[in-house]
Structure 1
Amino acid sequence: MSEVFQRNTEVLQRRWPALLARLQGEAGEALQAELVEGLGSTLSVSGIQLTSRHDRLAEARLQAQSLPADSPTLHLYGAGLGDLQRVLLERPGLARLRVYLLNGALFQLVLQLLDQSDWLADPRVELACAGDSGEIALPFFALPSELVLADDFNAKIRDRLISEAHLADNNRAFDVADPRLQQLLEDSLPLLRQDPDVAALFATQAGRDCYVIATGPSLAGHLPALARVRAQAVRPLFICVDTAYLPLLRAGIQPDIVVSVDHKIRVHHLPPDASAATALVYMPMLDVELVGNWRGPRYSAYSASPLYAAVREAIPRAELFVGGSVIHPATDLAVKMGASSITLFGADFAFPGDRTHTGWDDGVLGPAVSAARHWVLDGNGQRVRTQLNFRGYLIELERFIAQHPEVRFHNTSRAGALIAGTTYAPEFCP
């Protein structure tokens, strides 16, 4: 054991013995690490530089500027080489610095090579694995290199950090000043005034089981079973998202309710010919031809988006939660209708089997599988390819589930993303 490593581990043993025991099980020596030199030097792990190779201290001071100077508690995700911790600990008003490890093996490697005992020994520092928390804490800074190098155990927190960092950019897609969106809203007003409030459906299915059906690849394997359940005299309520409607019809399954919120959805996604027995729950800006031709009951709703601020008072409607995907309002509708148990189908948030959706060709509803550059853990603990926005949708669904402990949530496929807060339905997923 090197003198540096011994000094570091002595501090860990004194302050966080349980964490040290976990770290000692990590294979830090197996990482591909090399020294990278410029005007200064840093470590490169698997081709990713942990810090600047020119001026680590200047980089750390720049990073520190993004955190509020007067906050008594700060949260740092990733330990890096200790530079940002040292800069933040210079603040006289800082009472607590919580450091969350995103890769245990990486931290163990750094402990072997560089003296970290100074900031580790500071009584204001708290150290933990990020994955031990269910949610991120604010205000935070996440070291960019360690977001890339995060290990499987800490992946869900990594995903939440990235989602939070992209939040401002994502919201620009719904800019209230966008004249196209304003025109779509204006075009929707006659139908909006005509159709009843979605609140008319609330509390009408108290205690009933509900199936919420999305369009992920795993839905295909469940279509025969769903057809059998649909034919039963006593059965769960079937709520589907818009893009699942047509695959269900083709399998002989008539959903009770279809939910649609995306202005890009058109009649070929939701053909009205066989819609008389299915209610449509929609939000303004959905294609007016589609809505106008729907033969079943129609109910209008809003999201929390400021886009609807101008019409909320004149045309009051209840809200459904939207977190980027139509699966969110579909699930919220089931909760508000009174469902005691919700079983999710096709909620994969990933591309198991290198497929994007059930019933649609690769790339028709979004980027093709070949464009996937990210991953999530599936129900078997294995990495499965996905898109960055799918990870964001998964996070928002998990947060929604956590807010509704009164409802039992079940998943039906281990091939898609593991959804925190759900259990696997044994009749569909042995």
Structure 2
Amino acid sequence: MALKKINLVFFNHRLFMESLKEYPNSWIDDKRVNLFFAGELKYPSKPFLNVYAELILAEKGAHPLRDRVIMELDESLKKKRLEDRKLNYDIKNIVENDEYIKIDKSVSEYFNQYKDKTITVIAGGETIQSYIDNPIKSDCLIAVSTAVNPLIKGGIVPEFVIAIDGHDNMVDHFKVISNKDILKDSIFVYSPTIPHKMLQSWPGLRCIFKTNDSVFNRVQSTLKLKKLYCSGTVTHCAVDLAVKLGAKEVRLVGADFGYPSGYTHAENSAARKKANFKTRVTNYNGQEIMSRPALIAFMRDLEIYISLNKNVVFRSFSKESAKIDGVSLMI
């Protein structure tokens, strides 16, 4: 079959110009060839072939497309990791949590209760300490479970706490809280994939949801649960909850998608440890900060979600956090 069209995408202007000098370039005048700089495109077309050196040497403006190409290349590994997680944690936890699945409220009972309000979503990144030191008032706080202890130590109690992960050390997020009674009026929004002990240790109200993960198709008791968006991180669920609660503005705190100061989580978080990764992502200062491929993939998926919710304003609290397309800086 004769070639009708081919799209050629380069990721580095200087590398592209040098290659034109060194190699035959008559192809550039072929009308079947469409030439693009990666910064002009948001998503890779399929099918595609890539030169890995181009991805490694991509300039800043090409990083969004570079990241999405890497995500596509990593898709098979991602599927294997998800399947391993289902076998090791998720199905077991869902079965153990059956009593809660039967009696707890649906997350949908809270939808639109904050219509046209401002909601702050607090993820687990290390920049939440700046927020704790100088909090900005909003109508509602949603915190992921890793952020709860740092917030409480700073005198901040969220209206909602959210968790999805099934590994056993999730219980530590609540174990380190010295006075759990302070959370008795907070609502725990959870996926039944979390450890049973985590539910047992919660002192307050609860409501339940599921994600679009296929694991929920295997367990009859979860079929009617309402969904929150998730593409690998609880931060996605927290943002979707804010939107479904009716927010007109969603403020992101600790959604760093990188390690600005070299630590994985905020101070006083049970999950905090030293980070050591080679991947880099650009922050709101235009500086490169340490990250890892999974975090960047989560950020790119969040960007897609944000692009589909144009009626909501998204803002980021810290200029040290990774720059998210569609999210403006608050301060």
Same fold (TM over 0.5): yes
Provide the residue aligned with 1:125 in structure 2. Answer: 33
Mind listing any 5+ residue stretches in structure 1 that lack a counterpart?
A: 1-90, 230-234
How many residues end up aligned between the 2 structures?
Answer: 325
Shift of 1:380: 1.8
Provide the residue aligned with 2:11 in structure 1. Answer: 102
What per-residue deviation string (whole Å, max 9, x for no partner) do you get for residues 359-382 of structure 1? 247xx6377322x11001111222
1:243 aligns with 2:146: yes
> Which of 205, 210, 213 matches 2:114?
205
Check the 8 A contact 1:238/1:255 in 2, yes or no: yes
Provide the residue aligned with 2:95 in structure 1. Answer: 186
Check the 8 A contact 2:127/2:266 in 1, yes or no: yes
Change (3 A) 1:169 1:314: closer
Question: SS where residue 352 of structure 1 aligns?
Answer: coil
Question: In the TM superposition, what are the counterparts of 1:162-181 in structure 2 within 5 Å?
Answer: 162-175=70-83, 178=87, 180-181=89-90
Shift of 1:356: 2.3
Name the amino acid aligned to 1:368.
Answer: K
CA distance in 2, matches of 1:190, 1:313: 10
1:365 aligns with 2:268: no
CA distance in 2, matches of 1:142, 1:352: 30
1:307 aligns with 2:209: no
CA distance in 1, matches of 2:235, 2:303: 12
Provide the residue aligned with 1:294 in structure 2. Answer: 202
Provide the residue aligned with 1:421 in structure 2. Answer: 326
CA distance in 1, matches of 2:209, 2:245: 14
Question: In the TM superposition, what are the counterparts of 1:230-269 in structure 2 within 5 Å?
Answer: 235-264=138-167, 265-269=169-173
Check the 8 A contact 1:187/1:285 in 2, yes or no: no
Question: SS where residue 281 of structure 2 aligns?
Answer: strand
Check the 8 A contact 2:102/2:221 in 1, yes or no: no
Question: SS where residue 217 of structure 1 aligns?
Answer: coil
What per-residue deviation string (whole Å, max 9, x for no partner) do you get for residues 81-118 of structure 1? xxxxxxxxxx51x322111111111010011111111x
Provide the residue aligned with 2:307 in structure 1. Answer: 402
Check the 8 A contact 2:162/2:238 in 1, yes or no: yes
Question: SS where residue 289 of structure 2 aligns?
Answer: strand
Change (3 A) 1:365 1:168: farther
Q: Which shows bigger deviation, 281-290 or 250-259?
A: 281-290
What per-residue deviation string (whole Å, max 9, x for no partner) do you get for residues 179-228 of structure 1? 653222211211111111111111211101100011212111111322x6
Shift of 1:274: 2.6
TM-score w.r.t. structure 2 length? 0.93
CA distance in 1, matches of 2:34, 2:256: 35
Change (3 A) 1:173 1:360: farther
CA distance in 1, matches of 2:33, 2:273: 43
> Which of 144, 158, 163 matches 2:52?
144
> Which of 238, 243, 247 matches 1:339?
247
Question: In the TM superposition, what are the counterparts of 1:218-233 in structure 2 within 5 Å?
Answer: 218-226=127-135, 229=137
Question: SS where residue 34 of structure 2 aligns?
Answer: strand
What per-residue deviation string (whole Å, max 9, x for no partner) do you get for residues 20-63 of structure 1? xxxxxxxxxxxxxxxxxxxxxxxxxxxxxxxxxxxxxxxxxxxx
Shift of 1:293: 2.9
Check the 8 A contact 1:199/1:317 in 2, yes or no: no
Q: Structure 1: which 4+ aligned runs deviate by more than 4 Å?
A: 312-315
Shift of 1:396: 1.1
Aligned-pair identity in percent equals: 26
CA distance in 2, matches of 1:303, 1:315: 11
1:390 aligns with 2:292: no
Mind listing any 5+ residue stretches in structure 2 that lack a counterpart?
A: none
Provide the residue aligned with 1:67 in structure 2. Answer: none
Provide the residue aligned with 1:28 in structure 2. Answer: none
CA distance in 1, matches of 2:155, 2:72: 41
Check the 8 A contact 2:90/2:194 in 1, yes or no: no
Relative contact order (alpha carbons < 8 A, sep ≥ 6): 1 or 2 greater? 2
CA distance in 2, matches of 1:267, 1:366: 14
Name the amino acid aligned to 1:168.
Answer: S
CA distance in 1, matches of 2:264, 2:128: 11
Check the 8 A contact 2:149/2:268 in 1, yes or no: no
CA distance in 2, matches of 1:312, 1:367: 38
Provide the residue aligned with 1:15 in structure 2. Answer: none
CA distance in 1, matches of 2:131, 2:184: 24
TM-score w.r.t. structure 1 length? 0.72
Shift of 1:313: 6.5
